[in-house]
Structure 1
């Protein structure tokens, strides 16, 4: 009887251990599955983030390029206006010199 009780006790323990092993293996599979899903989600989220950042970068670079072009065009127009002003001043200088020269010659002739 004691041997039978001891044997039944051992079978019960074996069954309990077997059940724990099965439960632990099930938990391990769930953890692996969750880990795989999380890795996939993280990868997907980072791909989306990278795409968003690339689009933002392109938009910012395009905006900077546009602003640079506008500034350069404004400065180019300003330079052209200054060159016209210099030509006008040079013409005035020449006219004044000619006038001064003519006036001096007139004074000398008198």
Structure 2
């Protein structure tokens, strides 16, 4: 797993974010192809009404890349989200860029800037 610094009061609801070299992903023979789908990581802050979601788009495609979305949680009780209007997005093939961006976003939310 990719080590992440996650501030308190965030809950991980899914984590399949592993340390891999996406530069080696050129075809279906890549050993981690099944880990590169739309559902890699999801972290929720009900206090701040935010969901951070990480996926690989398009799924199982060597031409894809990681995509982070931060969305507003508009109904905490029913987990209703605003996926059509994200508060923040970022895409990259680099695990380290994505890791650093996730940690930045989480801290920005905690400090009330996102």
TM-score by length of 2: 0.18
Structure with higher strand content? 2
Bigger CA radius of gyration: 1
Greater relative contact order, per chain length (Cα 8 Å cut-off, separation 6+): 2
Higher helix residue share: 1
